[in-house]
């Protein structure tokens, strides 16, 4: 166990953070010039990783099986749209925070069933949030500003009078927000808040006997989770989709985030980034293989079907052999590496890749 | 026990009056009353299925008895929940271990400090100075308990990986971390070998002696019970059949009958 040197971060964390920052702020912008990488990979990766952290808080840390992250993302995205439209004085960052808070309010509402139902039944109950929020946005024209086309263009991002419209600028916006929220999530997870969550996850009756209020802890986890999802949803709509349509936040996205959470590793923050990267990059990789190895001989629809099959298979394999996901796998590889080459000092470098923020 | 005690046994701190509890048609406890005095070591004994654990669960608020009242620190508690009791200063351990398995020993004990943690999640997220101060106090207290229980070498191990005897110790530690005035111990020595039992007895007496914590324990090993407790209450079929000092209970005919069986 290492002693934290700043806030809850150990020296190793700070080195990792520094490496990640150098990579993401200096190296990536100077080496990657194709827009495709920013608009289709890095920006959605950061947004979805942020939503996955939200899912981690409620599922990985607090042990509440919830499925409805995309619903909260939709709430965040449409709140953002309306705030910028109707309360322009808030500014981009202010609107982002308030849309997160609006999503958190929904999180509290739909987190209440967790007091009475658990496990798979809670999952069904939380599905209500998914359908309710999407329905509400569709039903009441006000949320879409009475736009008849169904797809609304997102407003341009303007922070302190400066426009952030290029892919690189949007990438930096996502990066900044994700970094700050990740660091805050780590503080919570490692502090007394995180201990309460995990106590409820591991043995709720004992937690209650220690004075941990189940009501407060569960609702708090749902609220914070929804806040993260809401902010992620706003970024997802404004930086990645650049448009707002409820269909983009359907149940499929919720499942995607759930898979990112499980594959990445339940109860880990860095697992959120690993899981999101894997699930986003995997189809890209398969497509590349399909195009370059088979030269288009395999139909794109077949490739996307194969993708589903492999995902399903991987989920099963992970559930059986490494329920703690890729983050744990990564830890194990590092451990093996360390015992194999004890003199090499690569641990800072290797662990940093996993904790990219 | 012959030595002068630092904390003299005082007035009743916990009173159980006419408790009746049944599950459907099965009566677990029938009209049971007893009290626990401040700073004493009180044992609840009885054959299997006598309702001992149910009794603790009623006191702690996990079960809601159909009849009867529980008074703690002179106040009758109308709607008992584990949380209310914890806040009033009553902590417990569980028969079948209820530790937070994926958390380390230190973190488990730190959860016991919950009621001494006043900062909210936002303050924790931003790690304000008062969070650091409070966290340090809680960690120091937890480390104290860890060294008191002599488990320093395993403090960073996830408790799920520890052997049974050590887990029982950690659970005692977690209950101690609450700084409660009463601790309920549900079979703290079940499944332990002689040496571990002796250790556990030592800790229970040490806690009682040094901190003045009132201990209520359920135990099967008669030798242990008679050695460490000030007073014993004997339950059988959910009823009190004996109550008094170990010597009184030992010579009580009803108790002897219940334990050894009686010819009909």
pLDDT digits (tens, 9 = 90+) for A234-257: 999 999 999 998 999 999 999 999
Task: Identify how many contiguous H helices and E strands chain B contains and give both numbers.
Answer: 10, 10
Q: Residue A94 pLDDT more than 60?
A: yes
ipTM of the complex: 0.91
In A, minimum Cα distance to B176 occurs at A210
> Long-range CB contacts (< 8 A, 24+ apart) of A18-25?
A19/A348, A19/A349, A19/A352, A20/A352, A20/A355, A20/A356, A20/A357, A21/A179, A23/A352, A23/A356, A24/A175, A24/A356, A24/A357, A25/A172, A25/A175
pLDDT (0 to 100) of residue A356: 45
Closest CA to B186 of B58, B97, B86: B97
CATH topology of domain B1-89+180-259: Rossmann fold (3.40.50)
Mutate to test the interface with B, among A184, A206, A227, A325 (most CBs of B within 10 A): A206
On whether the CB atoms of residues B18 and B44 are closer than 8 A, the answer is no
In-domain check, residue A85: yes
pLDDT (0 to 100) of residue B260: 73
Reported as a pLDDT band with limits 50, 70 and 90, residue B263 is low
Q: Which domain holds residue A309?
A: 10-354
In B, minimum Cα distance to A5 occurs at B132
Kindly state the average pLDDT of the residues B195-203. Answer: 91
Interface residue B168 vs chain A (CB under 8 A): no
Task: Say which residue the tokens 């937890």 belong to.
Answer: B142
Q: Poorest-confidence range of A274-288, A332-346, B225-239?
A: A332-346
Interface residue B156 vs chain A (CB under 8 A): yes
CA distance B264 to chain A (A): 43
pLDDT (0 to 100) of residue B4: 74
Q: Between chains, do B91 and A199 touch, taking CB under 8 Å as contact?
A: no
d(C-alpha A72, C-alpha A234), whole Å: 10
With beta carbons under 8 A apart, name residues in chain B contacting A201.
100, 102
Q: Domain limits of chain B? A: 1-89+180-259, 102-178
Reported as a pLDDT band with limits 50, 70 and 90, residue A190 is very high
Using the 8-state DSSP alphabet, how is residue B261 labeled? -
What is the CA A4 to chain-centroid distance, rounded? 25
d(C-alpha A185, C-alpha A53), whole Å: 8
pLDDT (0 to 100) of residue B3: 62
Burial class of residue A123 in the structure, from the number of CB atoms within 10 Å of its CB (0-12 exposed, 13-18 middle, 19+ buried)? middle
On whether the CB atoms of residues B175 and B93 are closer than 8 A, the answer is yes
Q: Between chains, do A209 and B156 touch, taking CB under 8 Å as contact?
A: no
| pLDDT tens digits, B52-78 | 999 999 999 999 999 999 999 999 998
Mutate to test the interface with A, among B61, B63, B82 (most CBs of A within 10 A): B82
With beta carbons under 8 A apart, name residues in chain A contacting B135.
191-192
What is the CA A194 to chain-centroid distance, rounded? 18
Q: Between chains, do A187 and B127 touch, taking CB under 8 Å as contact?
A: yes
Interface residue B142 vs chain A (CB under 8 A): no
d(C-alpha B149, C-alpha B152), whole Å: 8
In-domain check, residue A33: yes
Q: Between chains, do B100 and A267 touch, taking CB under 8 Å as contact?
A: no
pLDDT (0 to 100) of residue B104: 95
Split into its structural domains, chain A has a count of 1
In-domain check, residue A324: yes
Q: Between chains, do B127 and A203 touch, taking CB under 8 Å as contact?
A: no
On whether the CB atoms of residues B111 and A207 are closer than 8 A, the answer is yes
In-domain check, residue A132: yes
d(C-alpha A132, C-alpha A170), whole Å: 30
Q: Between chains, do B103 and A203 touch, taking CB under 8 Å as contact?
A: no
Q: Compare CB distances from B87 to A7, A211, A214 and report the shortest one's residue.
A: A211
Counting residues of chain A whose pLDDT is more than 90, the rounded percentage is: 53
pLDDT (0 to 100) of residue A357: 42
Q: Compare CB distances from A209 to B91, B103, B117 and report the shortest one's residue.
A: B91
Q: What are residue B184's DSSP bridge partners?
A: B92, B216
pLDDT (0 to 100) of residue A348: 52
Q: Got the DSSP string for A241-302?
A: I-EE-GGGGSHHHHHHHHHHHHHH-TT-SHHHHHHHHHHHHHHHHHHHHHHHTSTT-S-HHH
d(C-alpha B242, C-alpha B248), whole Å: 9
In B, minimum Cα distance to A267 occurs at B102
d(C-alpha A79, C-alpha A102), whole Å: 7
d(C-alpha A326, C-alpha B75), whole Å: 52
With beta carbons under 8 A apart, name residues in chain A contacting B174.
206, 210
d(C-alpha A350, C-alpha A338), whole Å: 11
Q: Between chains, do B62 and A205 touch, taking CB under 8 Å as contact?
A: yes
Q: Where are the alpha helices (DSSP H) in A39-115?
A: 43-55, 69-86, 91-111
Q: Compare CB distances from B131 to A185, A191, A203 and report the shortest one's residue.
A: A191
d(C-alpha A312, C-alpha A354), whole Å: 23
Interface residue B131 vs chain A (CB under 8 A): yes
With beta carbons under 8 A apart, name residues in chain B contacting A211.
83, 86-87, 114-115, 178
Kindly state the average pLDDT of the residues A55-78. Answer: 94
Q: How does strand A152-153 pair with strand A9-10?
A: unpaired
On whether the CB atoms of residues A197 and A38 are closer than 8 A, the answer is no
Q: Between chains, do B126 and A198 touch, taking CB under 8 Å as contact?
A: no
Q: Got the DSSP string for A123-182?
A: HHHHHHHHHHHHHHHHH-GGGGTT-SSS-EEPPPPEETTEE--SHHHHHHHHHHHHHHHH
Q: Got the DSSP string for B89-113?
A: TEEE--TT----TTSBHHHHHHHTT
**Residue A68, helix vs strand vs coil:** coil
With beta carbons under 8 A apart, name residues in chain B contacting A220.
121
Query: What are the b/e assignments for A58-70, b being 16+ CB within 10 Å?
Result: bbbbbbbbbbbbb
Q: Residue A195 pLDDT more than 90?
A: yes
Residues of A contacting chain B (CB within 8 angstroms): 1, 7-8, 184-185, 187-188, 191-193, 195-196, 198-199, 201-203, 205-214, 220, 224, 267
Q: Between chains, do A206 and B98 touch, taking CB under 8 Å as contact?
A: yes
In-domain check, residue A335: yes
CA distance B137 to chain A (A): 12
Using the 8-state DSSP alphabet, how is residue B73 labeled? T
Mutate to test the interface with B, among A13, A211, A231, A267 (most CBs of B within 10 A): A211
CA distance A34 to chain B (A): 36
d(C-alpha A250, C-alpha A245), whole Å: 10
Q: Compare CB distances from B115 to A8, A206, A211 and report the shortest one's residue.
A: A211
Give the phi and the psi of residue B118 in degrees, each rounded to 5. -105, -15
With beta carbons under 8 A apart, name residues in chain A contacting B87.
211
d(C-alpha A55, C-alpha A69), whole Å: 7
For residue A105, give the CATH number of its domain: 1.10.3470
Structure tokens at A32: 């990657």
Q: Compare CB distances from B124 to A188, A210, A211 and report the shortest one's residue.
A: A188
Q: What share of chain B is helix, strand, coil (3-state, %, to 5)?
A: 40, 25, 35
Query: Quick one: CA torsion of A188, A189, A194, A198, rounded to 10 degrees?
Result: 160
On whether the CB atoms of residues B108 and B100 are closer than 8 A, the answer is yes
| pLDDT tens digits, B97-131 | 899 999 999 999 999 999 999 999 999 999 999 99
| pLDDT tens digits, B7-46 | 889 899 999 999 999 998 889 999 999 999 999 999 999 8
CA distance B19 to chain A (A): 21
In-domain check, residue A290: yes
In A, minimum Cα distance to B121 occurs at A193
In-domain check, residue A91: yes
d(C-alpha A283, C-alpha A303), whole Å: 8
Closest CA to B43 of B213, B176, B218: B218
Counting residues of chain A whose pLDDT is more than 70, the rounded percentage is: 94
Q: Residue A300 pLDDT more than 90?
A: no
Reported as a pLDDT band with limits 50, 70 and 90, residue A292 is confident
């Amino acid at each position: 166990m290492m002693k934290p040197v700043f806030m809850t971060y150990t020296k190793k964390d700070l080195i990792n953070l520094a490496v990640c920052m150098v990579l993401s702020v200096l190296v990536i912008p100077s080496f990657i010039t194709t827009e495709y990488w920013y608009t289709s990979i890095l920006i959605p990766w950061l947004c979805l990783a942020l939503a996955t952290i939200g899912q981690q808080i409620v599922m990985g840390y607090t042990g509440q099986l919830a499925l409805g992250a995309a619903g909260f993302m939709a709430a965040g995205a449409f709140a953002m749209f309306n705030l910028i439209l109707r309360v322009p004085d808030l500014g981009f960052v202010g609107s982002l925070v308030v849309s997160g808070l609006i999503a958190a309010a929904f999180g509290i509402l739909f987190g209440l069933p967790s007091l009475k139902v658990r496990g798979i039944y809670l999952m069904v109950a939380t599905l209500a949030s998914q359908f309710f929020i999407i329905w509400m946005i569709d039903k009441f024209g006000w949320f879409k500003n009475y736009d008849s086309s169904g797809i609304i263009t997102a407003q341009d991002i303007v922070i302190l009078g400066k426009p952030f419209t290029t892919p690189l600028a949007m990438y930096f916006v996502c990066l900044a927000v994700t970094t700050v929220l990740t660091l805050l999530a780590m503080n919570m997870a490692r502090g007394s808040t995180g201990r309460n969550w995990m106590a409820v996850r591991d043995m709720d009756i004992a937690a209650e006997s220690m004075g941990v209020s189940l009501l407060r802890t569960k609702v708090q986890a749902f609220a914070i989770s929804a806040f993260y999802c809401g902010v992620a949803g706003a970024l997802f709509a404004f930086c990645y989709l650049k448009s707002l349509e409820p269909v983009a936040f359907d149940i499929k996205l919720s499942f995607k985030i759930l898979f990112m959470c499980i594959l990445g590793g339940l109860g880990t923050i860095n697992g959120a980034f690993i899981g999101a990267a894997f699930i986003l990059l995997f189809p890209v990789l398969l497509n590349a293989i399909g195009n370059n190895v088979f030269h288009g001989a395999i139909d794109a629809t077949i490739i996307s079907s194969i993708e589903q099959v492999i995902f399903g298979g991987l989920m099963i394999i992970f559930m059986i052999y490494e329920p703690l996901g890729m983050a744990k796998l990564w830890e194990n590889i590092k451990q093996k590496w360390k015992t194999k080459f004890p003199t090499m000092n690569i641990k800072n470098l290797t662990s940093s890749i996993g904790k990219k923020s | 026990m012959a030595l002068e005690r630092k904390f003299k046994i005082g007035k009743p701190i916990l009173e159980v009056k006419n408790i009746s509890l049944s599950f459907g048609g099965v009566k677990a406890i029938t009209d049971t009353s007893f009290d626990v005095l401040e700073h004493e070591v009180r044992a609840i004994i009885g054959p299997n299925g006598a309702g001992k654990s149910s009794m603790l669960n009623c006191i702690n608020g996990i079960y809601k008895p159909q009849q009867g009242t529980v008074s703690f620190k002179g106040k009758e508690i109308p709607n008992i929940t584990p949380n209310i009791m914890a806040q009033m200063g009553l902590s417990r351990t569980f028969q079948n271990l209820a530790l937070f398995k994926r958390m380390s020993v230190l973190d488990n004990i730190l959860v016991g400090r919950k009621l001494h943690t006043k900062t909210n999640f936002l303050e924790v997220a931003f790690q304000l100075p008062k969070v650091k101060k409070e966290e340090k106090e809680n960690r120091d207290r937890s480390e104290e308990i860890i060294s008191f229980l002599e488990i320093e070498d395993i403090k960073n191990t996830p408790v799920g990986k520890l052997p049974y005897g050590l887990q029982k110790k950690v659970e005692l530690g977690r209950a101690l971390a609450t700084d409660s005035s009463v601790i309920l111990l549900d079979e703290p020595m079940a499944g332990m070998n002689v040496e571990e039992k002796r250790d556990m007895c030592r800790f229970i007496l040490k806690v009682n002696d040094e901190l003045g914590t009132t201990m209520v324990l359920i135990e099967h090993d008669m030798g242990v019970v008679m050695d460490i407790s000030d007073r014993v209450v004997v339950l059988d079929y959910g009823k009190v059949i004996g109550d008094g000092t170990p010597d009184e209970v030992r010579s009580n005919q009803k108790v002897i009958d219940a334990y050894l069986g009686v010819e009909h």
